[in-house]
Amino acid sequence: MKQIKLLSATLLILFILNSCNKTPHDKIMGSWDITKIENPKIEDTDIDAFKELNKEALDNEVFTFTEEKVTKKLPEASEGTWEMDEAGTILTIDWGEGDIMSPHSYTIKALTNDNLIIEEDFDDFIITTTFEKVK
């Protein structure tokens, strides 16, 4: 009986340690719902237009990362490729020829099992996008 308890405790500890040691690549896998889009440099007079422009993305957009692909629904269903640097600080998404801005390079400001915050620098302004993991 003691051996079974010891084995169970050992397996539980190994499971906990393994789940805590997810790489950034592992953490980003899955579906992410956009919860906030910010532009800190936006003029007060443009805030309402910025919010309206991003309303559909906030209400409906989900990015899904699989081992080799990333998909999104807006402005139309798209599939692209993604990669992350080894340190987990830069995320690059290429939506292909249909997106004249591709590839997009994002700085990962935060990445946990449940939250992702990325920034895209457009020289004149920075867009910060916050995601929550879809459960």
Q: Is residue 13 part of a domain?
A: no
Q: Is residue 18 part of a domain?
A: no
Q: Is residue 5 part of a domain?
A: no
By CB atoms closer than 10 A (0-12, 13-18, 19+), residue 130 is middle
Q: Is residue 19 part of a domain?
A: no
Q: Is residue 83 part of a domain?
A: yes
Q: Is residue 91 part of a domain?
A: yes
Tally of domains within the chain: 1
Q: Output the domain CATH number for residue 54.
A: 2.40.128.280
Asked whether residue 77 carries a pLDDT value surpassing 80, the answer given is yes
Q: Is residue 14 part of a domain?
A: no
What φ, ψ does residue 76 adopt, rounded to 5°? -145, 160
Scanning 21-127, the segments in alpha helix (DSSP H) are: 24-28, 47-60
Q: pLDDT tens digit string along 100-119?
A: 888 999 999 999 999 999 99
- Calpha distance 88→60 (Å, rounded): 26
- Calpha distance 2→128 (Å, rounded): 53
Q: Is residue 103 part of a domain?
A: yes
Q: pLDDT tens digit string along 9-26?
A: 665 565 555 556 789 999
Whether pTM > 0.85 for this model: the answer is: no
Q: Which domain holds residue 110?
A: 24-133
